[in-house]
Structure formats: C-alpha cells, structure tokens
Chains A and B, each alone.
Chain A
C-alpha cells in the first residue's frame, strides 16, 4: 500500500487533488481511498488530505500518520507546518517550488522532488491570478515522480471530473510531469537533535480572551503581495479603509505601509487605489 498526504491551502485544490488521484488509480484498475482532514476550510488556510493506493481492498480508515509520500502544494507551509512529520525513511517529499530539490532537506533521507506548479497554473490560466489552482500540475509531477499511477489515467480523470477548464488542467498536468526534478537525499549524518520542547505560545499562559489574534501571522495565506509606489500615492487612505485584515499602517506623513505579517493578498487595496499606486506581485 502507498500512502500519500497532501498539504495545501484552502482554494489550491488539495482535497480535489486527492480525489482526482483516487479516480486516476481506479482507471488504472487499482484501489484507492481519499478523504480530507475535517477542519475549517478558508481560502488560504492550511488544509490536509489523504490518499491510499493498493492492489486490494483497503480496510484502514485512519488518518495517514506515516506517509510514503508527502505532497506540499504551497512552499509557504514549510515555514509553519511540520509537513514531513511521520514521513517514512526513504520516502518522497514533493514540493511546489521554483527552487531545486537541493534547496530542501530530509533528515531521515529519501527523495525530494520540486516543480514550479504556481508558474504552470498561472501560465495555463488555471484558477485566477490571485488564487492559481496548482493541484493538476502537482498531480502530473506526482505521477512522474512516483510511477504509482499512469499519466494517461490522470488525464482521463481530469477530463472526466474537473468541472471548469478541463483542457487547461490537462495541459497543466502534462507541464507538471515534464517540469518535475527528483533528487535522492542521503540521511543526515548529524545525529538528529532531540525533539525541541513544544514551542511556547507567543504569549504567557492565562485567560485566553485577552490575547489578541495579531500574535498569529497570516502572511503565509497569500500568493500575491501588494507593493505601493509612493510617488503615485495621493494619501487618500482608501487602501487602509477597505482592508478586511487591517493590514495597513499609516506613517507620520500619512503614507500607507502594508503590514506583511497579516496581509492575505486579497487584492482589494490594489483594485480600489484611485491612481493605481498598488501592484499585486507574485510571492517568491
């Protein structure tokens, strides 16, 4: 049995990816199981989904704690989610990132694969510029990197089950298969550091009601960030007025400053700025 765990963000299609993968496996004549981790689903919020693949009926019903493969749809997740937790030694980590596999590490050894699925999705116009849907490109890469299901069956699943723009999604899957690069990584020779104590909460223990949410950062929710051109800015404050995340400060002269720890990249400020002084640029 092959167990795969997907980590993504609401809107990127992690849950749909796990389901499309299961469909492709069925088309291959094998058995699959897919299900999401039940939680709050918000565009941008971390989402987990699971797929099992086998030649015979699967009776397990638990979450996947020790996956053979971990798929990360958003490299930003690597910052604050322990995505490789439980990954089997020798397992595969597949990351949507423009960086090469060597840029990442696996302490227990295994294989690392990367591809720029965001670039592919933007190029194929899958999803929107604010929320590119990277799942099909990543699945193409997963097929190529694991060989656990055929690319033909994946394309058939996409054409049969993706409701909007199936052709563009199929093209993205092909691009993903071509673009992926896989490298073996040796286990780290350094003895693994003892597990660090649980990270302290960013505030003292005590009644929770008094802890403001701004101790939590939402920067990793976004795929685009606003960049302000001060020379064009007329200091009208519209961007500040309309931001649903209160992600602006006004400096002493009244110019807006984006508080990037909180901006979720919705694009409202750029759309509302009268002199077009704000551009949304892709996050590196």
Chain B
C-alpha cells in the first residue's frame, strides 16, 4: 500500500451533521489529524456547532467548548489559563470559528487574544458568508458574490465591498505563526498544523472552506474548487513565522480566475469586466506576496572586499519572549 502522507488517526467522527461535500468538515478532520488527542476546541455559534452536536452525541474526539459567537478569542485565553492552572501545559488550546464569528462579530475578541499573547491556536474557517443562518454576507464575502442579503437582480450585482483582509489584521499583531491553509492540499495543511502545534504563543490559521449550498456548486467539486482557488491566486498558500513570509505553494504562472468563478453560482452573473477585475486583484495579491517574501529573505549579497557582509536578519518580534496569558 502506498504510504499514507497524513496521519491515519481520526479524531472527527462520522455521523456528523454537515452537508455532503462540506469543506469546513474536511478542514476539521485534517486539523485534528495534525493536532492529535491532547486538544480542546472552542467552537462558537456557526455551522460547526451544529455539525459537531447531532443530539445527543459529539462529532469531536477531543474536548469541545460551545461558546458565544463573539467570544472565541476570550474563550481560548480562558481555556489556556485553566489548562495551565491544572498543569496541562501540553494541551493544545484551539478556537475554531467561522468568518462571521471571526472577521465580524468576534474581531475584538480575536485581537485581544493575539495582543495578550495567549498560547493558543485560532482557526478561522472561511466559507465566506454566514452559512448556518442561510447564506448572509459577511465582511469576508468576496466582492460581487451573491448571498441572500446581497442579491443579484436588475441593478443589484451582489456584494459591493471587497473582502476584508483578515491576515493583514492578524499580522499587525505579530503572532508567532500565521498561515493560510486549504484542505485541497492535505499534506501542506497537516504540515502547517504540526508546525503550529510545536510553537508557543498566539497562532492563527486562515482556512479556505468551500460550501456547496452557499456557493452554489455540486458537492463533488469541493476539492477541485479549492485547488483552483490556490492556483489562480485567489487563495494563495503561505505562512508567516516570526514576521517572515514564505510561500508554500509556488506557481510559475497563475491560472485564469475565470474557471474558478464560472464554477460557482454565486459568481455566475459576472460580466467580463468583473472577471477581469478579479483577475487583476489576484495578480496584485500574488505579486505582493512575492515581494514580501523577497523582502523577508534578502538574497545573500556577494561578499565584496572591504564591505561588511550582509546584515543578519532581525531577531524575532514575538514568541517565546512573550508571557503566556
């Protein structure tokens, strides 16, 4: 048999209540494979509270705290303090919240947890709308996308505003480790989870999480869509460690965004100009990442006699030095 490239252990149980083909369900499954059983997860009101709790059972093979939608960051600061007080320093404390619960309703709580230097991992699974309540727009919904509150009819062309850049907000807090993850790339996904698990201090994941009913596509396309998102530069994969950015999935050439957009009912109304706009944004996003990666890792300058050698990289800005909560 081919060697497994991700851990075999399953800590997310079957029988859960996610729709067929649910991206967030696969994201949780991969996350727990990487974290292992010494884990407690705080889940706020979202699809995942419903997925995890088909009465009277739980779909998580680890501890779960069902918390209020605005409080994920605060709840994991509290869980960390409690775990440490109980001498459970090795417990992985994880928040697992949707885009609405993170980028909108729980933003202050996330900021507080990052700023306090809480030793915990915050995961935002991004299905780009309030799905559990029936596809309302969030600040993470992409520009132009159809949702029930950003209709497409006549003059109305979906969401007016661009998607909020949650990674930029998080990085402004200088976390120990932050990364973008996509379940369509399971090995990259689990490697980042394992890396985050070994770090102390605040950590953050932005996880691509495709949603068949909310994005209006057939459930068998979940993985293929995720691949297109990354290859087209819509959702590039990278990690930022101690302020240093590294792209983990490099593309010589970006795929056209059109294939990605056309595959989803929420974008089907896009005109060629609107497609072109997304294309340009993808290009700019990718160029920006490449530039930031170069800036973080300057090429060694050839030693010129008489000149000092290239300066050492600056010391890490956050991390072990920070106190726990």
Contact = CB atoms under 8 A, between A and B. Distances in A.
Interface in A80-96: none
A268 B222 contact: yes
Contacts, number: 140
B23 interface: yes
Interface in A26-57: 40-45
Nearest to B50: A40
**Most chain A CB inside 10 Å of its own CB: which residue of B52, B56, B186, B218:** B56
Interface residues of A, number: 52
Contacts of B14: 213-214, 218, 245-247, 259, 261-262
Nearest to B4: A237
B15 A130 contact: no
B23 A212 contact: no
A11 interface: yes
**Most chain B CB inside 10 Å of its own CB: which residue of A222, A234, A268:** A268
Contacts of B5: 237, 241
**Most chain A CB inside 10 Å of its own CB: which residue of B57, B64, B212:** B57
A10 interface: yes
A213 B54 contact: yes
Given A250-B1, A264-B20, A209 B58 contact: yes
B2 A271 contact: no
Interface of A: 10-11, 40-45, 128, 130-131, 201, 208-218, 221-222, 234-237, 241-247, 250, 253-255, 259, 261-262, 264-268, 270-272, 280
A243 to B, nearest CB: 8
B275 interface: no
Nearest to A247: B14
B17 interface: yes
Contacts of B12: 246
11 contacts: A40-B50, A211-B56, A212-B59, A213-B17, A241-B6, A242-B222, A245-B16, A245-B18, A245-B25, A253-B1, A268-B222
Q: For the side of the interface on B, what is the size category?
A: 35 or more
B222 A212 contact: no
A244 B222 contact: yes
A113 B249 CA distance: 56
A40 B17 contact: yes
What 5 A-B pairs have minimum CB-CB distances, sorted nearest first?
Answer: A254-B1, A267-B220, A266-B21, A262-B14, A266-B20
B179 to A, nearest CB: 19
B220 A214 contact: no
A271 B221 contact: yes
**Most chain B CB inside 10 Å of its own CB: which residue of A41, A237, A280:** A237
